[in-house]
Amino acid sequence: MGKKGEKAGKSRDLIDAIADRVAVTDPQGRILEVNQAMVNFHGRSRKEIVGRNFLDLVAKEDRERIWECFATTLERGFSSAFEYKSLSPSGEESYSEVNALVIRDAEGRPLEIVAVTRDITQRKVVERQLTESEEMYRTLLDNIWEAIFEVDEKGIVRFVSAGIERVIGYKADELCGRNFMEFIHPDDRKFLADQFDLVARNILEPSEYRLIAKSGDSRWISSSSRPIFREGKFRGLNGILIDIHERKIAQQELQRQQELLLQAQKMEAIGTMAGGIAHDFNNLLMGIQGRASLMLRDSVVGQPHYAHLKAIEEHVRSASDLTRQLLGLARGGKYEARPSDLNELIRHMVEMFGRTRKEITLFSMLEPRLWVVEIDRTQIEQVLLNLLLNAWQAMPQGGQITVDSQNLELPESEARTLQVRPGRLVRVGVSDLGVGMDAETRSRIFDPFFTTKEMKRGTGLGLASAFGIVKNHGGMLTVQSKKGSGSTFHFYLPASDKPIDKVQEAALEPVGGNETILLIDDEEMILDVARQMLVTLDYTVLTAGGGSQALDVFRENHERIDLVILDMIMPGMSGARVFACLKEIDPGARILLSSGYSLNGQAEEIMRRGCRGFIQKPFNVRDLALKLREVLDR
């Protein structure tokens, strides 16, 4: 054998020793030499392989791509690893990975290409299994309604399932690589930072907080997390996010309704007690007021007791104002409600309040065509005054108070939340920029005599009375406030279709008359003093101390009785029953209701059934004279 043959033999022995398949080709792809591993792999003799184009050993679908790789290798002089499908004599496919090197002559022209090929079939099987497993795992996660997530120790989102898009609108790839804190509601970030630290210490507990959705809205979610430890070090956490927004909102709404119901029940209980106290107290005041006003009619300025009598009247008036506040708490406690222009009342109160509070600025935003409401003007003025005082006291250094009015059409759901009837309502708001209130203060702000040192004021009966008055008008009083951010009170009143009732100016000097009046009251003290007041006004007076006696007197004298003054609260036969019986005897009977209570419940029903008017105890001679002429002269 010549040297050339010996050299070729040694080269073959060398490449045969290589475990991977080796093939040498010319620049046209014709196989010049292969090693034993190539022969063994393809199950053919060396003669069957040498001389063929290497593409014959490649699966048809890969030949075009592999030829392009071959051409690139010729141009570059080497190849990076590329994969293809190999064919066995039986046509069975397997996967191979090849690296090639170009051998050039002295002038740089390619002579041969040496390709080393490794069988990667098993690796491809494992990769395919892994891919299938990952796809199955991903499909499983993406089909779970909740969102699965993983973040590293710095809070960077490393993985999140497709369920996150259903929760907050972001696609998974929009979140990965970003810090999860970017998507936490600002008010909940401190809480989440603390929770993150707890999980890092393997202290696990579910958390509820708000995420900021892609739309900018906040969404309540619940999360359960587990720490990830590698080599004993905390490397992040993973867990599940559950959308609880609708449930949370429903819970909050239920809690709000429960709080409103509890407040209403509490105010009703307090009102029942307050109404009874006010009724008895007003009867006592009636005795004092009546006697004082009778004495004043026989006194003139300068007489020794005149000043004392006027002072007694002032004290009675102050005491009466207190009972009015108590009656404001009472269930159904309101006086004569008239269709009114609430904007006009607001303008009057704002102007009056602003005159004496120069350190504040009052700003009004009133609905131009505000719907009519049926109100007792005096009581709603009291509500507005209490709210304005509350706003003023919340800004000791001064500031702006805004009063607004608005027409609202409330659907059933919102009306149920506010515990008012659905439909047309008028809303009035009083807002300040003052100290605001925390949740505990807000929960007690309508309690009678509740005070707070932080606001350096006591609301006393003010807000409690305002709450009661608005409720008694079929409405609701609410508050929104945050510590340090001011407060807004809103009260809602049902709208009316009735035309505005223009209040007539009272006569400067009250006058009496010559009519006959039947006075009915079970309190001997009231009966005595009211009779004397009527006699002083020149009326003819008949009296009755109870329902049965009153009906007997009326049957005998109804043709000459011009007016009946009827007490609402009497033992045995109630005022409502007496009213019905009087109307049976004489359907045209004129009846004026009188009570230490305010106009409520049965009294309102009587007013709708044809009663001519209502007078609140205590009243003086002037009040009585004006009311009598108002009823008798209609």
Q: What is the pLDDT of residue 1?
A: 46
Question: Does position 528 have pLDDT exceeding 80, yes or no?
Answer: yes
Question: Does position 196 have pLDDT exceeding 70, yes or no?
Answer: yes
Segment 214-236 mean pLDDT = 90
Task: Calculate the alpha carbon distances from 200 to 150, 205, 229, 239 in Å.
Answer: 13, 12, 9, 13
Q: What is the pLDDT of residue 427?
A: 95
How many CB atoms are located within 10 Å of the residue 232 CB?
5
Q: Each residue of 37-46: pLDDT tens digit? A: 888 888 888 8
Question: Does position 51 have pLDDT exceeding 70, yes or no?
Answer: yes
Q: pLDDT confidence of 329, banded at 50, 70, 90?
A: low
Q: What is the pLDDT of residue 330?
A: 55
What domains are defined for the chain?
A: 15-125 (3.30.450.20), 144-243 (3.30.450.20), 255-329 (1.10.287.130), 338-496 (3.30.565.10), 516-632 (3.40.50.2300)
Q: 526 vs 609, which has greater pLDDT?
A: 526
Segment 76-91 mean pLDDT = 76
Segment 375-398 mean pLDDT = 87
Q: What is the pLDDT of residue 466?
A: 84
Candidate ranges 112-126, 139-153, 271-285; pick with highest mean pLDDT: 112-126
Q: 156 vs 82, which has greater pLDDT?
A: 156
Strand ranges (E), 80-125: 82-87, 93-104, 110-119
Q: 590 vs 512, which has greater pLDDT?
A: 590
Backbone angles phi, psi at 14, to 5 degrees: -65, -45
Question: Does position 401 have pLDDT exceeding 90, yes or no?
Answer: yes
Q: What is the pLDDT of residue 6?
A: 54
Q: pLDDT > 90: what percent of the chain? A: 27
The mean-pLDDT minimum among 139-148, 177-186, 201-210, 230-239 falls in 139-148
Q: 598 vs 589, which has greater pLDDT?
A: 589
Secondary structure element (H or E) that encloses residue 571, with its range: none
The mean-pLDDT minimum among 81-90, 168-177, 454-463 falls in 454-463
Tell the residue number behind the tokens 């089909």, with chain if given.
143
Question: Is beta strand 563-567 parallel, antiparallel or unpaired with respect to 218-230?
Answer: unpaired
Residue 69: both structure tokens together: 């790789």
Question: Does position 461 have pLDDT exceeding 80, yes or no?
Answer: no
The mean-pLDDT minimum among 33-42, 225-234, 383-392, 504-513 falls in 504-513
The mean-pLDDT minimum among 250-259, 506-515, 587-596 falls in 506-515
Backbone angles phi, psi at 89, to 5 degrees: -55, -30
Q: What is the pLDDT of residue 517?
A: 94
The mean-pLDDT minimum among 6-20, 81-95, 121-135, 408-422 falls in 6-20
Q: DSSP state, 269?
A: H
Q: What is the mean pLDDT of the chain?
A: 83
Q: What is the pLDDT of residue 10?
A: 59
- What does R_g of the chain's alpha carbons equal in angstroms? 47
Q: Contact at 8 Å (CB) between 546 and 572?
A: yes
User: Partners of 361 in the beta sheet?
Assistant: 400
Segment 274-288 mean pLDDT = 75
DSSP state string for 438-479:
-HHHHHHTTSTT-EEGGGTEE-TTHHHHHHHHHHHTT-EEEE
Q: What is the pLDDT of residue 421?
A: 87
Q: 618 vs 188, which has greater pLDDT?
A: 188
Secondary structure element (H or E) that encloses residue 316, with its range: helix 306-329
- 3-state SS, residue 73: helix
Segment 508-520 mean pLDDT = 83
626-629-633-634 Cα dihedral, nearest 10 degrees: 50
